[in-house]
Amino acid sequence: MQKIVENHEVIETVHLNENSYVLRLKSPVEIPEIHPGNFAEIQVPDTMGVFLRRPFSILDVNYKNREISFYIKAIGSGTQKLGELQPGMQVNLIYPLGNRYTIPQGLKRALIVGGGTGIAPFILLGKELKEKGIETTFLIGGRTSKDILLTDKFSEYGTIEVTTEDGSMGEKGFVTSHSLFNRNDFPFEYVYTCGPDAMMKAVGHLVTQKGVVCEASLENMMACGYGICLCCVTPTVEGNKRVCYEGPVFNVSYLKWQN
């Protein structure tokens, strides 16, 4: 897979709420093919104490305009700094990295479950599923209605279901308490998930009990993106695997935390 290691120009930073934003960048060169689940390592410029690149799932791509975008939540000094970048500034990227979500032949109905920054890979995934004629439902979870973001984009590619912990939007509770999972006739043949570990573990457990395949994109710390530093290793049924290199997408039945 062709890799890009280049400075990209900031087009704009679109703030979605008080701590989440979409960073849109323009590549100086043609963007290689990017698949749902691929990620980039972004260098945080001019920030004391931030030495390592930060990994972010690729949110969307416009090949014609050479634009690439990322959904980022400002948690620490690095992500806060990226959210302060102004149009015309430069930021260095390495991408595309990692593997991709699987779309098996003959798939008809898919469920996508995301929470927090875990919604980031799902615009690209939703696009590809729609292009293949696969009926898709997005199940998005958050603490409050303020945490339910990008639904206007997701709605272009499927139907949307929502849970919030305080009940301010959609069904009250966690994503795993949504009525979709209580149906005897669970209508989905494949489930994709990304988000906090606890959420992915719970989703994976529910889904595999129903005999349905579930793929999760892990969000381990990834300093290099090439499988060299080993800080992202996760245990699997075949031994330790590097999330940045063998992943970040894994069938949950392959992961030790699911067994």
Q: What is the pLDDT of residues 109-167, one digit of tens each?
A: 999 999 988 999 999 999 999 999 999 999 999 999 999 999 999 999 999 999 999 99
Helix (H) / strand (E) element for 123: namely helix 122-131
Map residue 219 onto helix, strand or coil. Answer: coil
Return the closest-CA partner of residue 244 out of 93, 106, 25, 54.
54
Q: In the predicted model, what is the mean pLDDT of the chain?
A: 93
**Pick among 3.40.50.80, 1.10.1040.10, 3.50.50.60, 3.40.50.2300: CATH of 109-219:** 3.40.50.80
259 or 77: whose pLDDT is higher? 77
Residues 6+ apart with CB under 8 A from 182: none
Q: Residue 234 in 3-state DSSP? A: strand
82 DSSP 8-state letter = H
| In the chain, domain spans | 4-97, 109-219
* CATH architecture, domain 4-97: Beta Barrel (2.40)
Q: What is the identity of the amino acid at 79?
A: T
pLDDT tens per residue across span 157-166: 999 999 999 9
Q: In this structure, what is the dihedral angle of CA atoms 19, 21, 23, 24, given to the nearest 10 degrees?
A: -160
